[in-house]
Amino acid sequence: MKEADNKICELCRREVESLSRHHLVPREEGGKYGPTAELCQPCHSTIHLLIGNRELAREYNSISALQTAEPLQKYLRWVRNKRVARISNRRGRR
């Protein structure tokens, strides 16, 4: 991988190989055409594991809100200095 190919996760600010598009207002809550953020897979999976779609739409619909979200603080402290590229999708069916 070339250095120019590296990308930065908008949430954890780590340099990663690939990013996924996160709808800041979940599609199920009306955000299909709304603003998005480019996140690494571990951050994207963890957001959806720890915070429900309604709460994401109402309270955590920006990167700054997600960065200060109480449910994510332990994870963000942990992931900042890790080289983890993938976390298995831990989202269960609700």
Q: Could you report the per-residue pLDDT of 14-45, keeping only the tens digit for each?
A: 999 899 999 999 999 988 999 999 999 999 99
pLDDT in tens, 36-88: 999 999 999 999 999 999 999 999 999 999 999 999 999 999 998 888 777 76
Q: What's the start-to-end Cα distance of the chain, in Å?
A: 38
Give the pLDDT score at 82.
Answer: 80
For the chain, the structural domain boundaries read 3-79
β-strand pairing of 36-39 with 20-23: antiparallel
CATH C-level class of 3-79: mainly alpha
Measured CA to CA, the distance from residue 94 to residue 92 in angstroms comes to 6
Place of tokens 């997600």: 66
- Any alpha helices (H) in the chain, and if so which ranges? 41-50, 53-59, 63-68, 73-79
Nearby residues of 90 by Cβ (< 8 Å), 6 or more positions away: 45, 49
Which pLDDT score, from 0 to 100, does residue 1 have?
A: 44
The predicted structure's pLDDT at residue 94 = 44
**Alpha-carbon distance 55 to 89, whole Å?**
20
